[in-house]
Amino acid sequence: MTMVQFDRVGKRYPGGKEALSGISFELARGEFAFLTGHSGAGKSTLLKLMMLMERPSRGQVFVDGQNLGRLRAGQIPYLRRKVGVVFQNHQLLFDRSVFDNVALPLQIAGYTPAEAGRRVRAALDSVGLLGMEKRNPIELSGGEQQRVGIARAVVNKPALLLADEPTGNLDPELSAEIMNLFLRFQQVGVTVLIASHDIALIEHMGHRRLILDHGHLHEGQIAGAGGIYG
């Protein structure tokens, strides 16, 4: 049961050098893994390939059994509904309330307001922000905004959750809290991949690590079977 599979994936940005080369690995359904590496190693690029925010120059990417290279433009939105993403720059909309921000994916997916309302409150509750649904995200602290972003990423119950530096700019305590939040999602079956610089926290938490170095994946070969823990 693989959730994500990379098969000899290379990515060269137009006019740039190779951001990724020869990347092969698998993530099992329900697996929890970290993606680490120096700045510019290609972590964000790798995550973007799974959302079709970028397309690989070589190789193939499969998500939930779908070959992303074969997806028509019209199918991309439906792929993205299966994948929740959390970015460091939270990408929240400041012209609407916390509730409306979190409700956006449900509104897009065609939920009735009543059903959406129930799910939004559940998602906000799971990140500990239930009391703040009516606030504007601009009034929230960085950590709170980050948690709104997480609530939005999980509200549609995605099968795959990707996070790019979700704890950047947060203090260690808050970082640990947010990591624990991701663990809770993994415990209920969501596949989670977190790109992070926070080596100390990662070491502390254990779990599988994918390490990128100048576009090359180090544990890729070994990780294929079951991953490296610790």
Partner 1 sequence: MAEPKNSVKTQAGASLQEIGMRKRLNAWAANHQLVAVETLMRLLSNPLGSLLTWMVIAIALTLPGALWMALDNMEQLSGRFQASGRITLYLTPKATEQQGQQLSDRIAALDSVANTEFIDADTALDDFRDNSGLQAALDFLPENPLPAVILVEPPLGIEQAALLRLIEQLKSYQLVDSVQLDMAWVERLQAMLALAERLIGVLGVLLALAILLVVGNTIRLAIAARVDEIRVVKLVGGTNAYVRRPFLYTGLWYGMVGGLLAWLLLILCWALLNGPVADLAELYGSGFELKPLSAGAAMALLLAAMLLGWLGAWWSVSRHLDHIEP
Ligand X SMILES: Nc1ncnc2c1ncn2[C@@H]1O[C@H](COP(=O)(O)OP(=O)(O)OP(=O)(O)O)[C@@H](O)[C@H]1O
Site membership for ligand X, residue 37 (CB under 6 A): yes
Site membership for partner 1, residue 13 (CB under 8 A): no
Q: State in angstroms the smallest separation of the CB of 179 from partner 1.
A: 16
Site membership for partner 1, residue 174 (CB under 8 A): no
Determine the angle formed by the axes of helices 142-154 and 172-187, rounding to 10 degrees.
Answer: 10
Q: How far apart are CA 4 and CA 159, in angstroms?
A: 11
Q: State in angstroms the smallest separation of the CB of 81 from partner 1.
A: 4
Residues 6+ apart with CB under 8 A from 9: 20, 22, 23, 24, 49, 56, 58, 59, 60, 61
Site membership for partner 1, residue 193 (CB under 8 A): no
CB under 6 A: which stretch of 22-30, 38-46, 117-125, 126-134 binds ligand X?
Answer: 38-46
In a 13 Å sphere around the CA of 212, the CA atoms on its Cβ side amount to: 29
CB under 8 A: which stretch of 14-22, 108-116, 196-204, 206-214 binds partner 1?
Answer: 108-116
Q: State in angstroms the smallest separation of the CB of 41 from ligand X.
A: 4
Q: How far apart are CA 23 and CA 5, in angstroms?
A: 10
Nearer to ligand X, 19 or 132 (CB): 19
Q: How far apart are CA 186 and CA 207, in angstroms?
A: 12
CB 140 within 8 A of CB 109: no
Element (H, E) at 10: strand 2-12
Site membership for partner 1, residue 14 (CB under 8 A): no
Q: State in angstroms the smallest separation of the CB of 156 from partner 1.
A: 7
* 3 state SS of 195: strand
Q: State in angstroms the smallest separation of the CB of 170 from partner 1.
A: 21
Question: Residue type for 81, please?
Answer: R
Site residues for ligand X, 3-32, by CB under 6 A, read 13, 16, 19
CB under 5 A: which stretch of 10-18, 37-45, 93-101, 153-161 binds Mg ion?
Answer: 37-45
Interface with ligand X by CB under 6 A: which residues? 13, 16, 19, 37, 39-45
Interface with Mg ion by CB under 5 A: which residues? 44
